[in-house]
Chains A and B, each alone.
Chain A
Amino acid sequence: MLEALGDPTRRTIFESLAGGPRSVAEIANGLPVSRPAVSQHLKVLKDAGLVSSTSVGTRRLYAVDQEGLAAIRGYFERFWHQALAAFAEAAEKPPEEKT
Chain B
Amino acid sequence: MTAHTDQGDAVRTSIHVAATPEHAFTVFTSGIDRWWLRTHHVQPGELKQVGVDPYVGGRMWEESDSGDVCTWGHVLLWDPPRTFAFSWLIGPDWQPPAPDAPGSRVTVTFTPTETGTQVDLVHDRLDVHGPGWEGVREAVKGENGWPIFLHGFAAAI
Contact A90 B34 (CB under 8 A): yes
Cβ of B77 under 8 Å from chain A: no
Cβ of B55 under 8 Å from chain A: no
Within 8 Å by CB of A6, from B40, B102, B129, B137, lies: B102
CA distance A2 to B89 in the complex (A): 13
Cβ of A86 under 8 Å from chain B: yes
B residues 141-156 near A (Cβ < 8 Å) are 150, 153, 156
Contact A49 B130 (CB under 8 A): yes
Residue of A nearest to B132 (CB): A72
Q: At the interface, is chain A mostly helix, strand, loop or mixed? A: helix
CA distance A90 to B50 in the complex (A): 15
> Can you list 24 residue pairs at the A/B interface with Cβ under 8 Å?
A2-B131, A5-B128, A18-B9, A48-B131, A48-B133, A50-B127, A50-B133, A69-B9, A69-B127, A71-B140, A72-B130, A72-B136, A73-B11, A73-B126, A75-B136, A76-B11, A76-B126, A77-B4, A79-B153, A84-B15, A85-B2, A91-B17, A91-B31, A92-B17
Cβ of B18 under 8 Å from chain A: yes
Residue numbers in B under 8 Å from A2 (CB-CB): 131
Cβ of B92 under 8 Å from chain A: yes
Cβ of B6 under 8 Å from chain A: yes
Contact B37 A91 (CB under 8 A): no
Residue numbers in A under 8 Å from B140 (CB-CB): 71
Residue numbers in B under 8 Å from A72 (CB-CB): 92, 126, 129-130, 132-133, 136
A75-B92, A88-B17 are contacts. A82–B37 as well, Cβ < 8 Å? yes
Contact B127 A80 (CB under 8 A): no
